[in-house]
Amino acid sequence: MVSVGVSRMGKTGVVFIEPGAKVNSDYYCQQVLGKGLLPDIRRRCLRHNWVLQQDGASSRTARNTLSYLQRENVAFIEPDMWPPNRPDLNPVDYAVWGAPQEKVYCGKSFESIEQLMRAIVIAWSQLSQSFIDNSINEWRRRLECVVQ
């Protein structure tokens, strides 16, 4: 399992979930956000305002996670403002992640987790900003369809 972030200001590095890890709120806050995504996002968005968009997974909507984000001064979309079970509103889910995933798995097999991880990092690094921007451009249309 991996976690990534995208914006018009760039993409984060890949955060790998430790094999067998239970991704509860504590793990998500400390490992995924604290050691992975937030430092990377802050570095990329130093001079810009940004808002964190997460999905509705319980580790992301837990009270502990919301408190953590508030303590870290992270602007985020509140869980009650986000429709549940809507991966079609998250650019990573509806478009972005499929591109590197296709490169990684298309006709390949891996002898180790490390090989697979390297292939994921390489494919992610090759993903263009224009592809990400085009995916983000779809967001408003998707949101309007959900509202309708």
pTM, rounded to two decimals? 0.86
Domains of the chain: 2-147 (3.30.420.10)
Q: Is the dihedral of CA 34, 37, 40, 42 positive or negative?
A: negative
Q: For 99-137, how does the pLDDT look when each residue is reduced to its tens digit (9 = 90+)?
A: 999 999 988 899 999 999 999 999 999 999 999 999 999
Using the predicted structure, report yes or no on whether residue 139 has a pLDDT greater than 90: no
The Cα 123–Cα 68 span in angstroms is 31
Give the pLDDT band (50/70/90) at residue 87. Answer: low
